[in-house]
Amino acid sequence: MELTFLGTGAGRPSRQRNVTAMALTLPPPRCSAWLFDCGEATQHQLMNTPIKISRIEAVFITHLHGDHVNGLPGLLSSRSYHPGAGPLRLFGPTGLKAYLEAVFSATYSHLEYELIVTELVEGVVYEEDDYTVEAYPLQHRVPCWGYRLTEKDRPGALDAEKARALGVPFGPLLGQLKNGRDVRLPDGRTVRSSDVTAPDRKGRVITILGDTVPCDNIARLAANADLLVHEATFQGDMAEKAAAYGHSTTLQAAEAARQAGAKRLYMTHFSSRYRDEDMDGLVAEARTLFPESYAGADLLAIEVPRPGEPETDGTC
């Protein structure tokens, strides 16, 4: 599983940073992508990565400020020209559907695939076999949300030789053991799945927040997350200015990660006042509170390993 930052700037693009967007590439064999926010020129940023627009299955919008959503109509329209683009799920605040309907109507746009729009209510907003996504409101100048993606645990590897030694024949019984179910043999003995399989492979938790000042739901979203992506628009001594604009500082992001028990923090949404050469100082400031603090950068791709496993799921 890999997270690629497509834009890490706040408010407006600069020569060094585009506005907010990031893409999560799901592990093999699926290898599809989920997009979080879609600021202006996001589809151009995607052209500088291996991620294909046709492989984007879902888009999660945190709020309707332009630097988080103005790239969405163009990306959705362009996706119609990519062969193999199937249905796409779109999640975001109330008003997202009306925004798209207005743009598509005014520009005579038509999508060649099914777009499934869900406007958010707090709690679980999406669930499938492998993942659950929750959303909770944050505190910004407009309605804004954070997302918590939880990967479900998977059964550990089956030790087929050990199972055979216990008398389990080749066939469906091995599959049941591999899937975590105990089996009963023809002679009446029971073989427990836990006796012939490795421990479950723990799923990952990734938390991606929209713009926010410190608020209670951050801890709820980020509790024990393997990766927390938190805005840090301003440096630590600018808390008053950050609050006036509905944003957070580096120190507030670090404190949120510390209190939530997150494993890693990546800061993003940096004010255009900060240049690349300023990032080391901002990271050092955050690390005074949370040592595993890092700065996002445009087109930076980071691995998110399963807990206790090597930093790769294979190659997509």
Which residues make up each annotated binding site for Zn(2+)? 63, 65, 67-68, 140, 211, 269
Tell me the C-alpha distance between 133 and 138, whole Å: 16
Residue 67 designated active-site: yes
The one catalytic residue in 37, 67, 226, 313 is 67
Residue ranges of the binding site: 63, 65, 67-68, 140, 211, 269
Instruction: Check if the beta carbon of residue 306 is closer than 8 Å to that of residue 200.
Output: no
Tell me the C-alpha distance between 138 and 213, whole Å: 8
Q: Which residues are catalytic?
A: 67
